[in-house]
Structure formats: structure tokens, C-alpha cells
Structure 1
Amino acid sequence: DVGCLATLTPEQFADGCGEVVKHAVIADPELFAELEKTPLTLELLNRDVARVALIIARNIDIKRAVVVADECETNQRKLLNFGHSAGHAVEACENFELGHGNCVSIGMGIITRAAALHGICDAELPARIEELCARHGLKTRCELSADAVFAEALHDKKRAGDTIDLVIPHDIGRCSIDRTPLSTFHELIAEGLGQKGDAFAC
């Protein structure tokens, strides 16, 4: 019953949209463009519940297709972790008082800004993702230090020794899974937070 979403607070509803934006970035340029045109909000729910139901169904399809294709998370299923390596670290740094969707949104912002600095994606991509997140009531920036975020990220499940699997955006609907040295990950976090000079080698 999609209508039950009307019982959520605006903050809770916005948090749910963090995963919606993530799915659009990793797998569906058309969904991303649709959300740019008409964000998923409580106001839209009250005005057009059928449209909200279609958006939710599309998100379920995206996640189902990825999980069915890689049930044991050995390859493509890792795409669902876009924004999560830094995002989970932000969540821990904030003592889990900031909602998961907001933390994932911040994580997406961090890694996309860093990717743009390295020419991996267009310079305009971070602004597009940040603007879409903002229109859904989500944060994409935080005041945490790169050191603090990196320290928490060391506990990430995608870490393998001195490396970590990161989801790197190249364009809307096109991301790669890159095994990245932890030292490079710290630098990416610092760059994404605008603290490039603070980065250190592990």
C-alpha cells in the first residue's frame, strides 16, 4: 500500500529517496531524468499516488535485477553499494543520528566530486547529482574530516586487506566497480570533502 508512505515525516520520506536516487544513477538514466523533472516527494504522493507507485516499482525492478544476476555479491551486485562506503562511515561518525538515506547521499557526493576531479566523469555530474539529492531533501556534504570518515570506512564489508571495492560513477546509468588501494580511497574522501591537502598515505 503505497499510500501508507503518507504516515512518514518529510525527513523519513526524504531518507528513503536516497536509495531511489542511487538506483537511478547506477542503472536508469530515464528514471534520473524523470526525477529531475518531478522529484519524489510527499506532495507528489498526495497529488499522484499512481505515479509514486510506478517509481517505486521501477526501483524494485532495478534492485531485483541486480540481485538476481549476482546473488552472492561477487560482481555486479556491488553496484548497489554506490555511496555506501563513505556513507556508512559518515553514518557511524554521526553516531547514527543522521538518516541512512542522507548518509548515502553524502557518500555519493563525496565519490562523484572526487571522480570529477580525476576526469573520470564530466565536471557537471556532481552538480546534477547534488541538485537532485537537494530537491529530495537530502544532504550531499558534511563537516566531518577526511581522517574521521576514512577511519570508520576501514570497517567496511567491501574492504579486502589493503584495498576496497568502490563504485565509481562515469555517467548517469554507467558506474564501475574498482578495487582501490586504501591510501587512494583516503585521498578520494579528502578530495570529495574539499580537504585534498589533508590526505595521507596508509
Structure 2
Amino acid sequence: MTGRAAARARGIVVMGVSGCGKSTVGARLADALGGRFVDADDLHPPANVAKMAMGVPLDDADRRPWLARVAEALAEDARADGAPRPTVVACSALRRRYRDALRDGSGARLDFVHLVGDPALLERRITARTGHFMPPGLLLSQLAVLEDLDPDERGVLVDIAPPPGSVVRAALDGLAALPHREDPSRA
């Protein structure tokens, strides 16, 4: 694909704090759209996983190489032969600058699905899950640094209280309702 085609590829980032259902919703969303799903948790370097498992929040220096890997995953399908398919990535993307790094590093047009929910529900979900490196104690630090989408960021807010199927439907409806944007490469 040419650089122009790569710039037009579509990426969807399912974002939010730990326990909001990014992986579940992201995988189902990718399936519904005929796209590819990537869980950004799988792209963390081992040092990041170890740090979080010890209950230590990541800093920006820890996140930089990880975000570069996530951006590369978003760009992959843009470079594949044939028509681009959407790549759906489950990634916390807690701050604007992290979302900017994903946009800038991927070259893809990104839409965000911000999963939001009551902190008590999030804590119950984190406490109930097994086999995940993120301890419940880090939820408060994530909530403290979370930055909502700015008005110039394309995305939708989706409440996580309903069952996963309803959350996915709300995400699909929200994405479909986003205003069409012109492709600047067609000038």
C-alpha cells in the first residue's frame, strides 16, 4: 500500500482504566467489524509487567516504548496488501499525550471508544479476575491520571454497566454516528 493508503487506514482504540472491559469489548468489536484485535497488554515489555505486578505505576519513560509498539500494531494492516481492515486495539490510553503518540506513530485515522464506569464496579471486576498482572491497588492511580477525550479527538463514551453485548452495540452505534471526515489526501 502507498503512504496515502496507509494514512487512510482506520484504527479503533478501546480505552479506559483497568477492569473496564477493554479486552472483551475490543475483541468483540473487531469481530463485528471484520477487523483484527490486538491487546496492548500483550505488547508490554517484561519490565513493565513486573513493575505493575509489584503494584508500582508505570511512568512516561516506561510507557514510551510500549506506546511505540502499540502504534506499530495499529499501522500493520495499513501496510498489508489489499483493502485495509480496521485494527481494534485494547489500550488504556489514559492521557491525551498517549493518544497523540498512538495517532502520530501509527499514521492511522484513529477513533476512540472510551469505556467508563463506576469505580466500585471497576474494583469488583479487577478483584474478581485471575491471571492478570494488574493489581487492584493501581486502579486509583489510573483514575487519577485519566484524561477524558478532548473535543477534537474522535471518539465515543460508552457505559460499561450493561452486559458486554450491549456495550459492544453501544460502541458500534456510537462509532457509526461519528461525523464523516474528509480524507485530506484527496485534495
Please tell me the TM-score bracket, short chain as reference.
0.3 to 0.5
As a proportion of its length, which structure holds more strand?
A: 2
